[in-house]
Structure 1
Amino acid sequence: MKSYIQLFTAIYLVLALTACQKFLDVSPKDDVSDEQTITDKASAETAIRGMYRSLADNGYYGSSFQSNSYLQGDNLDWTDSRTVSLQFLQHNVRPDNDEVQTVWTAIYETVNRANYAIAKIPGVQDPLFPQSERDQLLGEAYFVRALAYFDLGRTWGGVQLVLEPTESIAASKDLTRSSQADTYAQVLKDLEAAEPLLPLTTNRVRATRKTVWALRARLHLYRGEWAAANEYADKLTTDITNYPLQSPYNSFFANNAVGTPESVLETSYSANNTNAHRSQWQPPANGGTRRWAPNAAFLALVNDPAIGGNRSAMVAQTAQGQWYGNMYYRSPATDPAYVIRIAELFLISAEAQAQLNNLDSARINLNAVRNRAGLAPTTATTQQNILLAIENERRLEFAFEPHRWYDLVRTGRAAAVTGVTDVNKYVLPIPIQELSVDKSLVQNPGYN
C-alpha cells in the first residue's frame, strides 16, 4: 500500500478530477493542492466527480478488477500470450503480478478520494452549500468507500483499513491488516453512515439510499445473514416502477443503451474517457485483442435455449468462427461497467429465502430472472436443488461481471466446481511492491 501512497501523493496534487457522465460533465479545477481541493461547494462537487472517476478507472471497474475476478471462474479461455493474466485462470497468481498491483492501487486510490471528501466536506464554510447537498456528497463518499473496502475484502481477505486522507507515507505507517470480518464490519459501518445522508431517489450513476440498500443486501449475503440480505434486496425488487427487469436480457447493454432500469449502479464513460473492457473482449476483426474468450463449456450452456435462453446475446462469432464476448462492443469504448444490477437483487433474495427454507418465495425470485431470460420456471423443489439452480443461474446471468469466482468461494463450492482445493488460493496475494515498502504488511498464507 505504501507504493500506492507514494504514487498517489505525487499525482493527486496535479491531476484534475474529471467527469464521468451528465453529473460529471463539469470542467474540473486543475492544479489545485490537496489543502485547497475542498474549500467550497464547487470544489466539493469536483472532488466527488474525481471519486467516481476513480471508481470507473481501468484498474478498477473499468477493466482489471472485473477481469481478475471473472478469469478465476470457469467461463473463459485465455487466448493471449501474456502470462500475467493467465495466472488468474490457472489459480497460480504470483505476488509480483502486475495486474494484482494495478487493482490494489486503483481501489486504494478510490478509498483515498473518498477519505478526502469524508474528512473535508463537513468543515466547508460556504453559504451556497446547503446542508442537504453537503449531506448527499458526504453520503456518496461513505458509499463509495464501503464498496471499495467490500471489493478489497472479498479479493484479499482482511486489508489495511485506512480511514483518513493519506498525504504522506508516514500517515499510515505500521497499520496492520484487519481480518476479513472486520473489513466487512467497516463496510457495514460506512453504509449505515451513508444511508441517512442520501436521498431516497433513483440514480443509475450516483449513490442514493437505494444504492446503499443494494450493497447492504450483497454484504449480508456474503456474511450469511439471510434475513437481512432478503430484507434489503426486497426494498429494490418490490420497487417495480424504478427497477423492473428488462426484457430481453440484452436490453440493458444492446443498442448503445445506458442507464436503463436494469442498473442500480453503473459507471459511465465518454469518448474522451473510455474503458478497457472492449478491446480485451472484441476480436481483431472488430479492432480488439480478444485476450480472453468464452470457453466451450460456457458456450454450450449459454447457446442452449433451455439453459441460456436469450442470454446467448452476450456472445457472438466472427466470420472465421471465433467466439467472443459481446457485452462490451462500442466504438469508442463508452460501454458502462455494471456495478449492481437489479437481477442480482432478485437472485440475492432467492438465495436468502432458500437458505431460510422459504422455498416458494425463493422460486418466485429465481423464476423472475429466468422468465426475463426466456426460460421456463425452475423444476427444483428441494432446498439443495434450488440453491444449485440459483448458483447456475448466477453463472450465466453475470458471466462477464465480477461475481462467479466470488460466488464459488463464499458458498464453499470452489473446490467442487473448479478443482482448486488449496484454500489459500481463494484470495489473491498482497502485491510484493506493497510488502517491500511496508514491513507491517503480512502476506496471505501460501504466497511466501
Structure 2
Amino acid sequence: MKNKIIYKITVALVVLFTINSCDEYLEITPEGKQNTENYFNVPQDYHDALVGVYDLLNTTALNNMLGEIASDNTLCGGENPTDVLEWQQIDDMIHTPDNGALRSIWQWMYAGISRANYIVEFQDKTQFQGKEQVLAENLFLRSYYYFELVKFFGDVPLYTDGRISIADTQTIEKTPKAEVYSKIEADLNASINKLPWQQNQKGRATRGAALALLGKIYLYQKKYDEAADAFNKVIASGQYQLVSDFTTVFLNNNENSVEAVFEVQYSGTQEGASFECFQCLEGNFAVGFMGPRFKGGNYAPYASGFSFNIPVQELVDAYETGDTRKDATIFDIDAFVAIKTDVTYNRGSEHTGFFNKKYIPYADDNVIPDQNINRSNNYRAIRYADVLLMAAEANLQATVQKNNPQGLLDQVRDRAFGDANHRVNATLENVLNERRLELAGEGHRFFDQVRTGKTSSIPGFTTSKNEVFPIPRIEIELAGNRWDQNNGY
C-alpha cells in the first residue's frame, strides 16, 4: 500500500469548502457548527484544511492534457470532430471566451487559491509545533495554482489576504502577470527553508519542489541567473536522480520514484465519479480519455479509453533509432495488434495509430464501476529530468553559469539511449528539442513553445493572440465588465 497523501476532503471540510454555485465558486461559506468562530482552534484543523488545498490538484489533469492538445505534439481526437467540442476548438486554435474547458481551469485554480487564502486568513489564530511547515506547504500550493493561471491567461486578479468573496470580484482589478510572478517568487522564497527535503507522506510539497517551481517561474520570465541558481540547489541537494530505465518511469508501480520532484497523487478507489463533476474525483480522469478505443480481444494489461490527445507522426519521427523514450511515450496500436491478433479496436477521429503511453489506462488501476474517468495514474508534475533540462537551458543563457549545461544534457540523453554514444552539443536548440522528446505527453509542450517563441509549427496559431487563452466571458461579466479581455479575443 503506497504511503501517500490522498487528496480527500473530510465531512467537516465539505461544509468549510462549499462551492455554492457555478457563479460563486470563489466564496467559501461556513455552515453548521464548523465555522470561522470555532475552526482553526486546534492543529488538526489546519492539517485538514491543508488537505482541502491539495485536493484541487486533482483538477489539473485537464490543464496537462490541454498543454499537449494546444501544441504541435498531438491532435484532439475523440470519437468525432465535435466530441468534447471545447477541446477540439483549442486544438484548432478557434477557442473563444465562451470555451467551457477554459472556464473550468479558471474556476478550479481559483477554488484552490481561495482554500489556501482561508488558511492564510486565520494563520495567526492558533500556535502549534509544525505550523510553519503547514503554512509553507500552503503557500507552495497557492503559488502552483497561480502559475497555472498565468500560463493560461496572462494577467489575472491577484487575491492573497483571505477568502475571496463575490463582493471582492467587483472591486479587484486584473494584476499584470509580472506582479503575480513577483508575489509567487516572494511566497516560494519565504517557504523554501521551512519545507523539508523529504516528507513522510508522498505527494506533499518539499524544499526541492519549491525550488524547482521557483526556478521554472524565473525561467518563464527569462531571469536566467536566478533560475540557474534555484535549479542548481535542487541538483546539488543530492535528493533526486534519474530512474535508470526510462521505460519504467510512468508505470503505476513506480510512482513517487527517486526522479519525482513533485507528483500529483491520484486514487482510483474513490466512489462518486461523474462526468458532470470532474472536481469531485480522486482519480485522474484524463487518463481514460487518452486510451485507445479497444473493442474486443485480450488487450491486457491496458484498458479502453476515448482516444483523445493523439500523438502526430511528426513527433513519432522525431525520436532517433535507439531512443528508449519512443516506445515508452508512444503507444503504437498497429504494432500492438500485430502481436495480439485477437484484439480489435475502433478508430476515433483524427486517428494516427498512436496514443500517449505515459498516461495510458491500465486494467488494474481502477476498482470502481466507471473506469473511464477515475484512474489511479499519478501525474509527474515536476521530474528531475525536467529540472536538468531547465537548468541546462538557464545556464546556457545566464551571465554566470551555476552548472555545466553539457553535463546536464548528457545525463538525460545517456539515460535515453543507455550509453554515451548519442550525445549532442548543448546548444539552446538542442536542449529545447530534448525537452520535447523527454517530456512529450506531459503537458509542457505548448507553454514551452510560447515562452521560447517557437509557435510557428502549431496549426492555426495566431501571433500576438494565442500566446494566452481568453478570460472566460462570464467571469468578466461577473466582475462588472471591468476586466479587459486578452488581445484578439
**TM-score scaled by structure 2?**
0.79
Who is 2:191 aligned against?
A: 194
- State the aligned residue count: 416
What SS does the aligned partner of 2:483 have? coil
Query: Measured at CA, do residues 31 and 247 of structure 1 come closer, stay the same or move farther in structure 2, by a change above 3 Å?
Result: farther
Who is 2:413 aligned against?
A: 370
Query: Measured at CA, do residues 13 and 291 of structure 1 come closer, stay the same or move farther in structure 2, by a change above 3 Å?
Result: farther
Query: Measured at CA, do residues 191 and 84 of structure 1 come closer, stay the same or move farther in structure 2, by a change above 3 Å?
Result: same
| 1:34-90 Cα distance to aligned partner (Å, 9 max, x none) | 55443311111000111111122x3xx2x2111222111111122223321011111
Letter of the structure 2 residue corresponding to residue 323 of structure 1 = F
Contact 2:389/2:435, CA 8 A, preserved across alignment: yes
Query: Measured at CA, do residues 186 and 74 of structure 1 come closer, stay the same or move farther in structure 2, by a change above 3 Å?
Result: same
User: Where does the alignment leave 5 or more consecutive residues of structure 2 unmatched?
Assistant: 1-18, 271-281, 295-302, 338-343, 346-352, 367-374
Letter of the structure 1 residue corresponding to residue 474 of structure 2 = Q
| 1:394-444 Cα distance to aligned partner (Å, 9 max, x none) | 112111122111111111221366573422111000011101211222211
| 1:300-319 Cα distance to aligned partner (Å, 9 max, x none) | 224x425x433421222332
| 1:338-394 Cα distance to aligned partner (Å, 9 max, x none) | 22111111011111121138699211101111111116566654x7xx111111111
Instruction: Map 1:15-26; keep pairs closer than 5 Å.
Output: none
Instruction: Map 1:32-181; keep pairs closer than 5 Å.
Output: 32-33=34-35, 35-56=37-58, 58=59, 61=60, 63-80=61-78, 81-124=83-126, 129-130=128-129, 133-166=130-163, 168-181=165-178
Query: Measured at CA, do residues 408 and 418 of structure 1 come closer, stay the same or move farther in structure 2, by a change above 3 Å?
Result: farther
What SS does the aligned partner of 1:48 have? helix
Contact 1:349/1:365, CA 8 A, preserved across alignment: yes
Instruction: Map 1:25-424; keep pairs closer than 5 Å.
Output: 32-33=34-35, 35-56=37-58, 58=59, 61=60, 63-80=61-78, 81-124=83-126, 129-130=128-129, 133-166=130-163, 168-201=165-198, 204-240=202-238, 242-270=239-267, 271-272=269-270, 273-285=282-294, 286-302=303-319, 304-306=320-322, 308-318=323-333, 319=337, 322-328=353-359, 329-330=361-362, 331-332=365-366, 333-356=375-398, 361-374=404-417, 376=420, 380-381=424-425, 386-415=427-456, 420-424=461-465
| 1:169-198 Cα distance to aligned partner (Å, 9 max, x none) | 113422111111111111101112212332
Equivalent-residue separation in structure 2 for 1:368 and 1:191 (angstroms): 28
Contact 1:269/1:334, CA 8 A, preserved across alignment: yes
Query: Measured at CA, do residues 31 and 78 of structure 1 come closer, stay the same or move farther in structure 2, by a change above 3 Å?
Result: farther
Query: Measured at CA, do residues 246 and 433 of structure 1 come closer, stay the same or move farther in structure 2, by a change above 3 Å?
Result: same
Contact 2:169/2:478, CA 8 A, preserved across alignment: no
Greater share of helix residues, 1 or 2? 1
Contact 1:249/1:311, CA 8 A, preserved across alignment: no
Q: Which moved more, 1:431-440 or 1:34-43?
A: 34-43
Letter of the structure 2 residue corresponding to residue 178 of structure 1 = T
Contact 1:4/1:108, CA 8 A, preserved across alignment: no
Who is 1:27 aligned against?
A: none
What SS does the aligned partner of 1:338 have? strand
Equivalent-residue separation in structure 1 for 2:210 and 2:403 (angstroms): 27
% identity of equivalent residues? 26
Query: Measured at CA, do residues 413 and 394 of structure 1 come closer, stay the same or move farther in structure 2, by a change above 3 Å?
Result: same
Query: Measured at CA, do residues 196 and 4 of structure 1 come closer, stay the same or move farther in structure 2, by a change above 3 Å?
Result: farther
Who is 2:299 aligned against?
A: none
Equivalent-residue separation in structure 1 for 2:465 and 2:431 (angstroms): 26
Equivalent-residue separation in structure 1 for 2:412 and 2:306 (angstroms): 32
Contact 1:2/1:434, CA 8 A, preserved across alignment: no
Query: What CA RMSD, in Å, does the superposition of the two structures yield over aligned residues?
Result: 2.6
Q: Which moved more, 1:405-414 or 1:33-42?
A: 33-42
Equivalent-residue separation in structure 1 for 2:162 and 2:355 (angstroms): 42
Equivalent-residue separation in structure 2 for 1:135 and 1:284 (angstroms): 48
Query: Measured at CA, do residues 293 and 37 of structure 1 come closer, stay the same or move farther in structure 2, by a change above 3 Å?
Result: farther
| 1:197-249 Cα distance to aligned partner (Å, 9 max, x none) | 32343575111222211111111111111121111111122333x20111211
Q: Which moved more, 1:164-173 or 1:340-349?
A: 164-173
| 1:149-177 Cα distance to aligned partner (Å, 9 max, x none) | 11111211110001133353113422111
Who is 1:441 aligned against?
A: 483
